[in-house]
Amino acid sequence: MKYMIDFKEKIAEEINKVLEISKEELETYIEIPKDTKMGDYALPCFKLAKQMKKSPVMIAEEIKSKIEMPNEYISKIETVNGFLNIFVNNELLIQDLLKQMEEQKEKYGSSNKGNGKNIVIDYSSPNIAKPFHIGHLRTTIIGRALYNMYKFLGYNSIGINHLGDWGTQFGKLIEGYKRFGNEYDLEENPIDKLTEIYVRINELCKEDESVLEDCRNNFKKLEDGEEYCTKIWQKFKDVSLKEFQRIYDILNIHFDYNTGESFYTDKMPEVIEILRKNNKLVESQGAEIVDLEYAKMPPLMVIKSNGSTSYATRDLAAILYRARTFDFEKCIYVVAYEQNLHFKQVFEVAKYLDLDEKYLKGLIHVPFGMVRLRTGKMSTREGTLIKLEDLLNEAISRAKTIIEEKNENLEGKDDIAKKVGIGAVIFNDLSNNIIKDEVFDWDIMLNFQGETGPYIQYMYVRTKSILDKENYIMHKEDVDIKELEEHGLELVKQIYMFNSVIEQAVEKNEPSIISRYLIEIAKLYSSFYNDNKIIVEDEKIKKSRLCLTYMVGNVLKIGAGLLGMEMPDRM
């Protein structure tokens, strides 16, 4: 399936007929101008000046004079300062859009470009017995968006929750539990209690070297699968997962695999063996490391001086395992930028695992910025640590208050408040380049008029209520193409771009490309709606405007769905 007409390709074909430059090369030069007055596409002819030994102005004139105008795909060509500005055949574009929209409906914008290739996405990945913090919220939301986006383009997304459930700290926690466990009931607020136990045992370790020794032994036993330690560790894991699950339920998050770090315990010896065979392990103060000085990085710790493995060793084992099990095209790590160095090191050392080059190329760290809270507002009494579940619930209750103010008798308020509140959190998270720090401010993110999730939802609900009132069902034959060309052209062209917008977002692993696009669509529709009555006498015009309304609502819903947001039917 080729998705819609590829106007860029068609333009390149036309130019290729009159120039001796390959279609493929021309395609790389053709741009989409920022200002639509400059055409739908433009060819900056200075890119051809050197090989054609002519000035850009002359080249532009030459091409223009040689291409027959108008033709099937191009309606007009203009030359400005060595630029060739190309206007496409709008009628054809609109026809093509309507055809595609009617065929694909709620799948509009999707394709099978990915051809079933496997994309592993490692996201969320909180640490058991520790709080699920706001940074984990970001990776969870971004990871899920990427998951949906890839899938929509025909890739096979594989979502992995790489839980932090292994490491020497569990030796300590087990020791703490042995000593003080009976003082705590882990059925309620287990994470707080485990944190407390952890603090207490650490203090004890500082006072008494032999306690530290016990902790080390516990972890050794855990690694050897000893029954008692395993049982307690499993308990920590179970109670933590139960806590995390509540957050995943609110956000509606699923994983294909919950294979955390512990999953790789029996897979690390092979990694160590391969590195040793390749002469990459060097001894350093009792530890075994891979020296990365040549790459201007600190060494990567593979085996610690106490004989235990590290976070990085488990990541290496995971790479080996994922390459073999999933034959991945990409393996994407959605992890905060604080771990930039970790991933650079791990990806560097992965070169010595005897893996096929294609897997090394597919390893991608997608870093994101911190969340900055407006101080004072969301911190708990004790300090700045906010519980994520509380935060999500606060979003819902704030949304409810706003909805009630606007429309007290709204049916199904609770469900709507949930969609709006959570939608606001999700959209806020994805509305800027993810590498940027995110500012968390209730008033901004819940503003129905701002560039927010609720604004997108509000515009969608508006389209829906118009369509419902008219019982509209799209039939492309009912549409007056001239009417759309005259009044809705900008909007139509944006809607037409949807698939390529998703492609760009996937290529850059940047969901904000989609969220910015949705804002653009919503704003354009808002001004269309202000300028044009939808329900008019003229049946043909009415149907055309309803169709445009349908297309807008459809794209908003699909796009928001890719980001992980749900649309209310009313609000």
Q: How far is the CB of 109 from ligand ARG (least distance, A)?
A: 30
d(CA 50, CA 31): 19
Q: How far is the CB of 164 from ligand ARG (least distance, A)?
A: 3
CA-based end-to-end distance of the chain:
38
Q: For residue 333, count other CB atoms closer than 10 A to its CB.
A: 25
CB 293 within 8 A of CB 299: yes
CB 182 within 8 A of CB 146: no
Query: What dihedral angle (degrees, nearest 10) is formed by the CA atoms of 288, 292, 294, 296?
Result: -140
Q: How far is the CB of 206 from ligand ARG (least distance, A)?
A: 24
CB 556 within 8 A of CB 456: yes
Binding residue for ligand ARG, selected from 110, 118, 125, 310, defined by CB under 6 A: 125
Can residue 122 be called a binding residue for ligand ARG (CB under 6 A)?
Answer: yes
Q: How far is the CB of 439 from ligand ARG (least distance, A)?
A: 22
Q: Which stretch binds ligand ARG (CB under 6 A): 123-131, 297-305, 348-356, 375-383?
A: 123-131
Six-digit token string for 113: 């470009």
Nearer of residues 139 and 457 to ligand ARG, judged by Cβ: 139
Q: Which stretch binds ligand ARG (CB under 6 A): 119-127, 145-153, 480-488, 507-515?
A: 119-127
Angle at 231 between CA 228 and CA 233, to 5 degrees: 110
Nearer of residues 82 and 126 to ligand ARG, judged by Cβ: 126
State phi, psi for 23 to the nearest 5 degrees. -55, -45
The residue among 518, 487, 491 whose CA lies nearest residue 502 is 518
Nearer of residues 164 and 559 to ligand ARG, judged by Cβ: 164
Q: For residue 331, count other CB atoms closer than 10 A to its CB.
A: 24
**Residue ranges in 215-274 that form contacts with ligand ARG under rule CB under 6 A:** none
Q: Judged by CB under 6 A, how many residues of this single chain contact ligand ARG? A: 10
Rg (CA), the chain: 28
CB 52 within 8 A of CB 59: yes
Q: How far is the CB of 367 from ligand ARG (least distance, A)?
A: 11
Q: How far is the CB of 333 from ligand ARG (least distance, A)?
A: 6
Binding residue for ligand ARG, selected from 14, 243, 288, 315, defined by CB under 6 A: 315
**Residue ranges in 160-179 that form contacts with ligand ARG under rule CB under 6 A:** 162, 164
Can residue 313 be called a binding residue for ligand ARG (CB under 6 A)?
Answer: no
Q: Which stretch binds ligand ARG (CB under 6 A): 33-41, 124-132, 349-357, 423-431?
A: 124-132
Q: Is 558 exposed, middle or buried (0-12, 13-18, 19+ CB in 10 A)?
A: buried
Residue type, 154: G
Q: Which stretch binds ligand ARG (CB under 6 A): 122-130, 148-156, 379-387, 554-562?
A: 122-130
Q: For residue 50, count other CB atoms closer than 10 A to its CB.
A: 8
Binding map of ligand ARG across residues 331-370, x = CB under 6 A, - = no contact: --x-x-----------------------------------
The residue among 508, 148, 253 whose CA lies nearest residue 364 is 508
d(CA 228, CA 367): 38
Binding map of ligand ARG across residues 126-145, x = CB under 6 A, - = no contact: xx------------------
Instruction: Please give, one letter per residue, the 3-state secondary structure of 437-453.
Output: CEEECHHHHCCCCCCCH
Query: In what helix (H) or strand (E) does residue 419 lie, and over which residues does it extend?
Result: helix 413-430
Q: How far is the CB of 102 from ligand ARG (least distance, A)?
A: 43
Q: How far is the CB of 196 from ligand ARG (least distance, A)?
A: 20
CB 122 within 8 A of CB 163: no
Distances in Å between the Cα of 365 and the Cα atoms of 362, 411, 506 are 10, 44, 14
Q: How far is the CB of 118 from ligand ARG (least distance, A)?
A: 17
Q: Which stretch binds ligand ARG (CB under 6 A): 125-133, 422-430, 443-451, 560-568?
A: 125-133
Q: How far is the CB of 335 from ligand ARG (least distance, A)?
A: 5
Can residue 111 be called a binding residue for ligand ARG (CB under 6 A)?
Answer: no
Nearer of residues 98 and 134 to ligand ARG, judged by Cβ: 134
Q: Which residue is nearest to ligand ARG (CB)?
A: 164
Q: For residue 473, count other CB atoms closer than 10 A to its CB.
A: 9
Nearer of residues 237 and 543 to ligand ARG, judged by Cβ: 237
Q: Which stretch binds ligand ARG (CB under 6 A): 88-96, 120-128, 277-285, 522-530?
A: 120-128
Interacting residues with ligand ARG (CB under 6 A): 122, 125-127, 162, 164, 315, 318, 333, 335
